[in-house]
Structure 1
Amino acid sequence: MLYVPLLDDECLTSFCARFAAANLTTATELCLDMGIRFQDVVDGSDKAIEVLAEFGRIAPERLRRSSVREVEGAVNVAGEVFVRKNYARTRLRFCPECFREDDRSADRMPETRRYIRRTWPLRFLRTCPRHSCRIADLGVPPLSSPRFHDFMEAQDAMYDELDDAMSNTSSRSPSKFEAFLLQRLEAVRNDGQLLDAMPLDLAAFVCELAGISALFGPQTSERSLDEDQLWAAGQRGYEYLSGGVSGLHSFLDVMHGRRTAVRCDVGGQKIYGRFYTVLKDHDDPALLRFKREIHEYAVRVLPLSGDADVFGRPETTRYLSEKQLRDEFGMRPGHMRKMAVAAGLLDPSEIAAGAMPREVASSIAASLSDAVLPALAAELIGVHYTVFKALRRAGFFSPLLSSGNGVAAHERFSRAALLEFVGEIERTANRRSLDGLEPITVTCRKTSAKFSEIVTLLRQQRLKAVGWKPSSPGLAAVMIDPTEVGKALAPRDDGHLLVEELKEKLLTSNETMSALLKGEHLKSSVERHPQRRRAQRVISREDAETFIRTYVSFINAEREYGVSRRNLRTALKQSGLEPAFPVDEIGVSFYVREKLEAALKNVQ
């Protein structure tokens, strides 16, 4: 009997086939002559190894390390378990340059020089690390089982195909993914916490799966790609996943970026395609952490509600679905989104989305619960609707919600703020007896004062006699002395005007006055009230009159010059007259009177 050596990284079936060829027979026949079956060698059974070691004069432990053992429908290679598909021993896979190197090995018996490396059947390995050469894959030899495991018979059965492959080699540098495969077979784990926690078969599979989705799209299957494309996919997936959790997040960001919009109740398949469906069908416990990281990241960065299923439904989410919005707040989700966009709490692109961020939903729901339309606002403070509108124009009330960001909406006012406003006025009441006092509306008629002027006096506590009639609603309960009001509104003789007084003369709002003062277009000072000694902001009468003589607002120009808004705009356009102050700063267009009058004359 002739003998052959067990070569470096040679698999057990290759050694058996070469041993048989040296003795001019097949592996199947040789095994029968030794009292075992070739299938036993293929399975790596202990008995077959002991017999082959005895006849082949090789230490049993060496043969055992070269064996590939069957493990419940899978195979164990160097302690790593692979499904049969991923460790394809039935296919003739080899490196042409390794075979050429074998052919030049004069120390080996002719016809037994070539041998199969134990790493070649690994489907994910597509480049020879020694020669930087593409692995050739000729498929399954046309032989019956277990004879297609006999490497020597397989070469004869596929002689033409093998000859073509030897003549058409191509070079390529091994990828980091392939280096990872080989290092893991040497029990080296240094490739990130996610991959290191998985068995090699699963880690390699997930890398390739992620790479396919990243490079070729979420619905692309492995079967539609060639070996070069799969080689690139394995490398790309490894680049992401070897980075651990942050690398996985980078991959998921790529997948998220391919969807223009994500429904709140969407499932993982819609977001990640085959990457998700394939992983979901794998119930390997080693994937639990991997799936959990995907689930938690998706819930954290995507607008997903509790109805979304990405490896399970989330217990808590940043977003609420339409059903959750209805159940939790009792409001129409579409109306909530519309008002949230108008309020600047939600991006206009999300107005038709099916979900809302929880914090936005809570905020807008609180506002809507507190909000009232102008008619009800007027009723709450006990005034006529027209009076409320006048107070609104005078700047006493700002809407809680209104049109904005492309959304048209009726103004809504805060119920709480309105009631607090009434409460503030009620706290100014200083008389129990109502004798000689009249309601604000009556006082307005007797003194020709505006309702807003009297409210200003009340808020500034400039009236000594203020009563409260509890049986009347809101401001209708205020009782004041018309005579005192008349005196309080009489022209001042101290050479100053209160800011509120000039505001009334200009027929403008608190916001506009504040902007004029802040921009130093009007000079003001703080003085003590002569009686109450309370600090108050005033403007010299001379400065106020100079401002009124010099400037006029667009709205006041209509009234003062008796021109239509259309003609006024025409005059401004033809003359090219610009506002005297920045409109975005002041909020109202003021013009130099002299220039505006000249522009109007040209139009007339």
Structure 2
Amino acid sequence: MSILHLTVPRQLEETLGSYCSRLAALHGAYSAREFSGYLGFSFTELLRGSDIHVEIFSRIASIEEADVREVLIQILGTTLRNVRGHMFTRDHIVSTKSKFCPHCLLDDESSGIGRRGSRAYMRISWLPRFSRVCPIHQSTLVTAIPGGLGMYGDAIGGLRADNAEWSDYLYRAELGQATPAQSYLIDRFMNRPTEELWLNKFPVQAAAHFIDIVGAVERHGIEVSFEKLDVLEQSACAQRGFEIAAGGQGSVKAFLAGLVKGYYRGRSNMGAHAIFGELADEMSYRANLPGYDRIVKLMQRVAIENLPIGPGDNFLGPVRQRRQLHSLTSAAEENEIGAHTLRNFMIERGLIASTKCSLARAVFHPSAIRDIIAPIKALGLTGAARAKRLRNARRSAN
């Protein structure tokens, strides 16, 4: 198969879809889909990362295999995307729309190489959800589909179909500030060296998603809906979450423990959503993905350290760790005794204070009741003993 002789240089971070779109414009084709049809491959399959179509385009455009791997977007089924060796769910990376800084694209057109109209290119570092603000122009990135759905992925062709200019998108970009959190995540995504952080233990999506929600919960409370926040507030939340996580696992556990302790100040139940809110929902929903499972286990471990839960309970999954706290309710159920009876015995012996807190919120170490369960049962004050007396009384009455 012949190669193209009329080309423009492919930029270092340029996606394959962007390069194909620019070559189509350079050759005067109406769209990248029309252009690819002439050359024997599918632009749609190129966007999906189909091996055969990527190979054909790479050969025609004289792109080295190693370079292809750096900018290849592989769509795996309906949910997963593999980009630069990182796995993303489709809601965490843009693969069917164009996401860009209009200021950068205008700069490309004014100073780039090649014919005007085919100089602006899409950077792969713009695609992840955590990439929100252009670090060069300090303005928010724009997500759009120039030309409509029929042109998705073909930014240059779509722009021409709309008879538009990149300057037409400037009004959609807001002044912002690229944060250290975003810089850290983009460096990881681009496989560049980063500082040694606790977050490095987690895949890039799990790390990014975790700090998003941690920061949102810290700034807005557990009932926050991250998706309803505007992009600048999302960026601020990510930065706040990054600051917490940058302190290491101890800092993260302290933050989570603070949320758990909110249970004792309220009247909610002891469920994961009632305690962790959006953080529980978002992390547990993806617990089958790499990294999320370890985050969920950490949340569960902090809950076990601060709540009266133990083996047999379900909190972000089945609890298998040894119990560290009992409540009057859980201890009474485990030992088949009345909760109020246990409470009175513990108050008499100075093991707990005489307060008005609920039975479920009066907590203590399991060892605290080790020496009083036997005396309670010896007095026939267990739930089983009361039930037995009731059955005997009924038999006598009959």
Q: TM-score range by the shorter chain?
A: 0.7 to 0.9
Larger Cα-atom Rg? 1
Paired position in structure 1 for 2:293: 288
> Offset of 1:333 from its aligned partner?
1.9
Code of the aligned partner of 1:228: L
Match of 1:71 in 2: 76
The whole-number CA distance in structure 1 between the counterparts of 2:28 and 2:376 is 92
Contact 1:44 1:70 in 2 (8 A): yes
Return the offset for 1:34.
0.8
2:181 to 174, 177, 184: 177
How does 1:563-574 map onto structure 2 within 5 Å? none
Is residue 282 of structure 2 the alignment partner of residue 278 of structure 1? yes
277-286 vs 27-36, greater mean Cα deviation: 277-286
**2:291 counterpart SS class:** helix
Cα contact 1:70–1:76 (8 A) shared by 2: yes
One-letter amino acid of the counterpart of residue 76, structure 1: N
Aligned-pair distance for 1:360? 3.0
Q: Is the 8 A contact 1:214 1:255 kept in 2?
A: no
Cross-structure match for 2:45: 40
In the alignment, the residues of structure 1 paired with residue 355 and residue 146 of structure 2 have an alpha-carbon distance, to the nearest angstrom, of 59
* Change in 2 beyond 3 A, CA 1:278/1:49: closer
Q: 1:332 to 1:48 in 2, by over 3 A?
A: closer
Q: Does 1:29 align with 2:34?
A: yes
* Distance change in 2, residues 1:280/1:66 (3 Å): closer
CA 9–330 in structure 1, closer or farther in 2 if over 3 Å, else same = closer
Q: Name 2:60's counterpart in structure 1.
A: 55
In structure 2, the CA distance between the partners of 1:52 and 1:345, relative to structure 1 (3 Å rule), is same
Which 10-residue stretch deviates more, 108-117 or 325-334?
325-334
Show the counterpart of 1:360. Answer: 368
Question: 1:10-21 maps to which residues of 2 (within 5 A)?
Answer: 10-21=14-25
Aligned residue pair count: 368
Q: Which residue does the alignment assign to 2:109?
A: 103
Alpha-carbon deviation of 1:245?
Answer: 1.8
Please give the per-residue CA displacement for 1:269-309, whole angstroms capped at 9, x wherever unaligned. 22111211332222225333222222222111234455653
Greater than 6 Å deviation, 4+ residue runs: 262-265, 366-371
Contact in 1 for aligned 2:257/2:306 (Cα 8 Å): no
Q: 1:152 aligns with which of 156, 169, 179?
A: 156
1:351-373 CA deviation, whole Å, 9 max, x = no partner?
532254223333555787899xx
The sequence identity of aligned pairs, in percent, is 23
Q: How does 1:323-362 map to 2 (within 5 A)?
A: 324-326=330-332, 331-341=337-347, 343-349=349-355, 351-354=357-360, 356-357=363-364, 358-362=366-370
**Rounded Cα–Cα distance in structure 2 between residues aligned with 1:253 and 1:129:** 35
Residue 395 of structure 2: aligned partner: none
Distance 1:16 1:125 in 2: 23
Q: Superposed, which structure 2 residues align to 1:31-430 within 5 Å?
A: 31-73=36-78, 74-105=80-111, 107-137=113-143, 139-141=144-146, 143-145=148-150, 147-157=151-161, 162-167=166-171, 169-187=173-191, 188=193, 190-193=195-198, 195-261=199-265, 266-282=270-286, 283-304=288-309, 308-311=313-316, 312-322=318-328, 324-326=330-332, 331-341=337-347, 343-349=349-355, 351-354=357-360, 356-357=363-364, 358-362=366-370, 365=373
Determine the C-alpha separation between the residues in 2 that align with 1:124 and 1:208. 8
In the TM superposition, 1:548-563 aligns within 5 A as none
Could you say what the CA RMSD is over the residues aligned between the two structures, in angstroms? 3.1
> What is the Cα deviation at residue 198 of structure 1?
2.3
Shift of 1:14: 0.5
* CA deviation map 1:244-276 (0-9, x unaligned): 321221221332344344789722122111211
- Over 3 Å counting, the alpha-carbon distance change for 1:309 and 1:190 in structure 2 is farther
Q: Could you tell me how far 1:196 is from its partner in structure 2?
A: 2.1
Alpha-carbon distance in structure 2 between the residues aligned to 1:338 and 1:351: 14
Tell me if the contact between 1:133 and 1:173 (Cα under 8 Å) persists in the aligned partners: yes
Q: For residue 207 of structure 1, report the CA deviation from its aligned partner.
A: 1.9
Indicate how the Cα distance of structure 1 residues 23 and 364 shifts in structure 2: closer, same or farther if over 3 A, else same: same
Looking at structure 2, the residues matched to 64 and 343 of structure 1 have their Cα atoms a distance apart, in angstroms, of 70
Relative to structure 1, is the Cα distance of residues 18 and 317 closer, same or farther in structure 2, using a 3 angstrom cutoff? same
With a CA cutoff of 8 Å and minimum separation of 6, indicate the structure with the bigger relative contact order.
2
| Cα contact 1:99–1:114 (8 A) shared by 2 | yes
Distance 1:343 1:161 in 2: 80
**Further displaced range: 115-124 or 339-348:** 339-348
- Is the 8 Å Cα contact of residues 307 and 321 (structure 1) preserved in structure 2? no
Secondary structure of 2:125's counterpart equals coil
1:180-216 alpha-carbon deviations (Å, 9 max, x no partner): 22111232464533x3232212221222122222222
Q: Deviations over 1:426-458 (max 9, x none)?
A: xxxxxxxxxxxxxxxxxxxxxxxxxxxxxxxxx
Paired amino acid for 1:246: G
User: Take 1:43 and 1:212, find their aligned partners in 2: how far apart are those partners?
Assistant: 33
8 Å Cα contact 1:90/1:149 also seen in 2: yes
CA displacement at 1:100 relative to structure 2: 2.7
Indicate if the aligned counterparts of 1:91 and 1:121 stay in contact, CA closer than 8 A: no
156 and 321 in structure 1: CA distance in 2 versus 1, 3 angstrom threshold: same
Question: Residue 8 of structure 1: which of 9, 12, 31 is its match?
Answer: 12
Report the residue type matching 1:29 in the other structure: E
Change in CA separation of 1:296 and 1:50 when aligned onto 2, cut-off 3 Å = closer
Q: Which amino acid aligns with 2:217?
A: S
Q: What residue ranges of structure 2 are gaps of 5+ in the alignment?
A: 380-398
CA contact (8 A) 1:306 1:320 kept: no
* Distance apart, 1:230 and its partner CA: 1.4
Q: Report the residue type matching 1:37 in the other structure.
A: S
In the alignment, the residues of structure 1 paired with residue 64 and residue 289 of structure 2 have an alpha-carbon distance, to the nearest angstrom, of 37
Q: Distance in 1 between matches of 2:216 and 2:309?
A: 25
C-alpha contact 2:131 2:182 (8 A) present in aligned 1: yes
- Which residue is equivalent to 2:393? none
Give the partner amino acid of 2:177.
S
Give me the TM-score of the superposition, normalised by structure 2: 0.81
Q: Which runs of 5+ in 1 are unaligned?
A: 372-604
TM-score w.r.t. the length of structure 1 is 0.55
Q: Deviations over 1:534-587 (max 9, x none)?
A: xxxxxxxxxxxxxxxxxxxxxxxxxxxxxxxxxxxxxxxxxxxxxxxxxxxxxx
Asked if structure 2 preserves the Cα contact closer than 8 Å seen for 1:265 and 1:307, the reply is no
8 Å CA contact 2:214–2:279 kept in 1: the answer is yes
Letter in 2 for 1:48: H
- The question of whether the paired residues in 2 share the 8 Å contact of 1:199 and 1:286 is answered with yes
